[in-house]
């Protein structure tokens, strides 16, 4: 298993290289540059050219790319143009990454907890009232646009029943670890819960139909013939088999929380990487955009690896020696 | 008087389909004594597995109604609650299934799957590990330690079926149900598995209900034979009686359609038509006669008496059509 992981990581290196070129070129393709719309309307063309030259934006893309890669290897992603002018990108991301990670972890745990418990209840009570209710509820949440759902939750739990804060991450550099931990938990919970409620539906529907499929398998009959009670058959045999196809998606969903949090972070005023990305996009902040996209690209590759590891852990048939 | 391990009296099973109960099997009377093998033969769809499933209590009670009386080792099964069934399954009766790959949980080690059969009835049995090894030895697996640690996909088909047999034997049941135990295996492995079942049955002096459509398997293992068609038993008797003196048209057709009974160059007989579906079944008539086009209509449509006729001691036949039935008529009609 260890060898496989090392091999997979080595294969990832050229992949990361291609991803970086792709990301850099995409950023170049965006119309305009960071100085557009941020300049004094009275500045003359020469001033703009001087600024572009100072930033290296007048060079051909491949030279810009090489400069960028060399800097990235030194941990230097450049400085922000518009979002937080003059501050190093690595510093901005460093500040923003933990709130997103913590929210992502809570959201993923809640998602799978909701999906698994609902799917089990549904499958155990197929076609009964509770099953029909859960199916309808999950169809409903998948039919509502996510941001609408986010606003409803925001209004409900911040204004109508004010039990959660309306913005912020609850992280304060001057405070100790525990204050920050619980402060962040308090601030991250509502957006995480909302994301979880919303993204439960796809896992739920998938898991429910898998559970029903697995229930009809021969090995279930064998277990019943041994005298195992139906609820134990679900717990020991069916659930794990039904979970197999989903396990391969968990890795992606863990690393995918960064991208998926854009709407939620913006709506809930939770300044993490998702919100940063939205700001950077509208401000054409190249350095931040490329850095975030590179991060996302690398994370996706690791997500794939993580998924493979999880699948192999759950399913002995795909374990590689 | 031999000990009766299975006594089925007037067993019927009805399935609920679109809020309507349809009878799948009707009026089954069968007995298996200790140390005996009863083979239940018939085409797919004749109700063999439906009957076996009702002995295991594995029908979904919401969609199925089992009536009559099924006694295993003297214990009445019809009307048991789910809880009572859970305690009974795997203890008094063990079952071997057709496809050993799909019948084993792909994600669980062999040893754990066998151990589960023991611990589910005896939670804190300290001897489980040893018992699993002994069981694996009993079914002819020598490298029991290694196999116990493997997963089903790492074993061959024959090994997997041996494991299934070990699971069925885990609690030393008096009655073993083998539902097409060799159908999914190749010929050489089939012979080995049959040998194994025979050995175990002899050693444990157990009763076996063998479900099969393979007449070779029947002659190899069985003491008694019951032939089933369209949810009813049409003929039963000892192996010798059935094979050497078959009476019912269906039994005779089955034997005639057996490749072993055909001389080289001769065309193999095939029974025309198929088993009727549940909705078409008429339990007062002999449904099989519909598939004998050369028989007289009066014979085909005649009502069949409820009691089977005893043509010789221990040899029972359903209906009277056998008296009018002959294969020679086919040729006469065609000429």
State whether A161 and A62 are in the same domain.
no
State yes or no: pLDDT of B8 exceeds 90. Answer: yes
- Are B243 and B235 contacting, i.e. CB atoms less than 8 angstroms apart? no
Identify which of A218, A224, A232 has the shortest CB distance to residue B89.
A224
**Residue B12 φ then ψ, to 5°:** -125, 145
* Residue A104 distance to chain B (closest CA, Å): 30
Residues A94 and A224 in one domain: yes
Of the partner residues A222, A229, A317, the one whose CB lies closest to the CB of residue B103: A222
The overall average pLDDT reported for chain A is: 85
Does residue A229 sit within a domain? yes
pLDDT digits (tens, 9 = 90+) for B145-171: 999 999 999 999 899 999 999 999 999
A122 and A65 together in one domain:
no
Residue A42, phi-psi category: left (phi > 0), alpha (psi -120 to 50), beta (remainder): alpha
| Cβ pair B260, B236 in contact under 8 A | no
Does the beta carbon of A316 lie under 8 angstroms from any beta carbon of chain B? yes
Does one domain contain both A188 and A275?
A: yes
Closest-CA distance of chain A to residue B264, Å: 39
pLDDT digits (tens, 9 = 90+) for A236-272: 999 999 988 888 888 887 777 666 678 888 888 888 8
**Same domain as A158, residue A96:** yes
CATH code of the domain covering residue A260: 1.10.3720.10
Range of the domain at A217: 90-318
Q: Tell me whether residue A7 is in a domain.
A: yes
Tell me: do A59 and A115 sit in the same domain: no
Residues A186 and A45 placed together within one structural domain of the fold: no
pLDDT value, residue A262: 82
Structural domains in chain A (count): 2
Q: Please, what is the end-to-end C-alpha distance for chain B in angstroms?
A: 54
Calculate mean pLDDT across residues B291-311: 83
Residue A16 lies in a domain: yes
Does a structural domain hold residue A83?
A: no
A84 belongs to a structural domain? no
Does the CB of A14 have a partner CB in chain B at under 8 Å? Answer: no
If asked whether residues A30 and A102 sit together in one domain, one would say no
ipTM of this complex prediction, to 2 decimal places: 0.87
pLDDT, residue B102, reads 92
Which spans in chain B are helix H?
48-56, 82-88, 110-119, 128-138, 144-148, 157-169, 187-204, 215-221, 239-244, 249-256, 297-301, 328-334
Residue B123: the pLDDT is 85
A68 and A197 in one domain?
no
Q: Which of A179-188, A196-205, A235-244 has the lowest mean pLDDT?
A: A179-188
Is position A78 within any domain? no
Same domain, A24 and A138: no
Query: Does residue A102 form part of some domain?
Result: yes
For A61-112, the pLDDT digits (tens) are 888 888 888 888 888 888 887 788 778 888 888 888 888 888 888 998 999 9
- Specify burial of residue B4 (Cβ count, 10 A radius: 0-12, 13-18, 19+): middle
Centre a 10 Å sphere on the Cβ of residue B191 and count the other Cβ atoms it contains: 15
More confident site: A23 or A121: A121
* Residue A19 belongs to some domain of the structure: yes
pLDDT of residue A258: 65
Indicate yes or no: CB of A228 within 8 angstroms of CB of B151.
no
Residue B335 confidence (pLDDT): 44
* pLDDT at residue B253 tops 60: yes
Structural domain ending residue among the three candidates A73, A101, A126:
A73
Both A124 and A225 in a single domain?
yes
Q: How far is B154 from chain A (nearest CA, A)?
A: 8
Give the domain-ending residue among A73, A99, A131: A73
Are A95 and A195 in a shared domain? yes
Q: What is the mean pLDDT of residues A125-151?
A: 90
Q: Which of A73, A104, A125 is the last residue of a domain?
A: A73
Give CA–CA dist A9/A308, Å, rounded.
12
């Amino acid at each position: 298993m260890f060898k496989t992981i090392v091999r997979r990581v080595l294969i990832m290196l050229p992949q990361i290289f291609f991803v970086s070129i792709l990301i850099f070129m995409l950023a170049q393709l965006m119309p305009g540059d960071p100085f557009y719309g941020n300049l004094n309307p009275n500045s003359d063309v020469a001033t703009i050219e001087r600024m572009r030259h100072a930033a290296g934006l007048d060079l051909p893309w491949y030279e810009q790319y090489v400069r960028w890669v060399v800097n990235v290897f030194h941990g230097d992603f450049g400085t922000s143009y518009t979002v937080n002018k003059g501050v190093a990108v690595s510093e901005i991301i460093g500040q923003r990454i933990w709130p997103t990670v913590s929210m992502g972890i809570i959201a993923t745990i809640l998602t799978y907890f909701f999906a698994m418990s609902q799917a089990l209840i549904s499958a155990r009570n197929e076609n009964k009232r509770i099953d029909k209710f859960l199916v309808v509820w999950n169809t409903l949440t998948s039919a509502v646009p996510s941001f609408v759902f986010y606003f409803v939750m925001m209004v409900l739990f911040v204004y109508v029943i004010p039990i959660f804060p309306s913005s912020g991450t609850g992280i304060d550099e001057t405070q100790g670890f525990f204050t920050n931990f619980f402060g962040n938990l308090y601030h991250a919970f509502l957006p995480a819960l909302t994301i979880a409620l919303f993204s439960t539906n796809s896992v739920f529907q998938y898991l429910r139909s898998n559970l029903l499929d697995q229930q009809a398998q021969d090995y279930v009959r064998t277990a019943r013939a041994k005298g195992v009670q139906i609820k134990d058959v679900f717990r020991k045999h069916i659930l794990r088999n039904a979970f197999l196809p989903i396990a391969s998606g968990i890795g992606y969903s863990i690393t995918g929380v960064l991208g998926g949090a854009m709407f939620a972070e913006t709506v809930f005023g939770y300044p993490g990487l998702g919100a940063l990305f939205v700001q950077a996009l509208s401000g054409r902040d190249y350095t931040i955009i490329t850095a975030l996209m590179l991060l996302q690209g690398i994370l996706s590759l690791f997500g794939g690896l993580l998924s493979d590891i999880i699948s192999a852990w759950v399913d002995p048939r795909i374990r590689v020696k | 008087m031999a000990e009766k391990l299975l006594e089925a009296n007037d067993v019927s099973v009805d399935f609920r389909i679109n809020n309507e109960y349809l009878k799948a099997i009707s009026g089954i009377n069968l007995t298996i004594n200790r140390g005996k093998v009863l083979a239940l033969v018939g085409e797919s769809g004749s109700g063999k597995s439906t009957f076996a499933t009702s002995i295991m209590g594995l029908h979904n009670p919401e969609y199925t109604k089992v009536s009559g009386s099924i006694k295993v080792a003297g214990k009445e099964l019809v009307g048991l609650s789910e809880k009572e069934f859970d305690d009974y399954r795997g203890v008094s009766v063990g079952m071997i299934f057709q496809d050993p790959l799909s019948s084993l949980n792909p994600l669980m080690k062999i040893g754990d799957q066998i151990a589960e059969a023991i611990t589910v009835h005896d939670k804190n049995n300290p001897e489980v590990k040893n018992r699993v090894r002994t069981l694996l030895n009993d079914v002819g697996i020598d490298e029991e330690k290694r196999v116990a640690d493997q997963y089903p996909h790492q074993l061959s088909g024959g090994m997997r079926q041996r494991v299934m047999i070990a699971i069925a034997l885990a609690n030393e049941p008096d009655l073993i149900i083998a539902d097409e135990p060799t159908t999914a295996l190749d010929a050489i492995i089939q012979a080995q598995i049959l040998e194994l079942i025979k050995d175990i049955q002899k050693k444990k002096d157990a009763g076996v209900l063998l479900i099969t459509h393979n007449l070779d398997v029947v002659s190899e293992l069985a003491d008694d034979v019951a032939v089933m068609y369209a949810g009813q038993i049409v003929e039963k008797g000892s192996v010798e009686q059935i094979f050497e003196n078959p009476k019912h048209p269906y039994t005779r057709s089955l034997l005639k359609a057996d490749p072993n009974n055909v001389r080289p160059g001769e065309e193999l007989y095939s029974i025309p038509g198929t088993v009727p579906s549940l909705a078409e079944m008429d339990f007062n008539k002999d449904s099989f006669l519909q598939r004998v086009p050369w028989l007289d209509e009066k014979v085909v449509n005649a009502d069949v008496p409820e009691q089977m006729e005893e043509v010789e001691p221990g040899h029972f036949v359903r209906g009277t059509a056998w008296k009018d039935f002959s294969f020679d008529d086919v040729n006469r009609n065609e000429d």
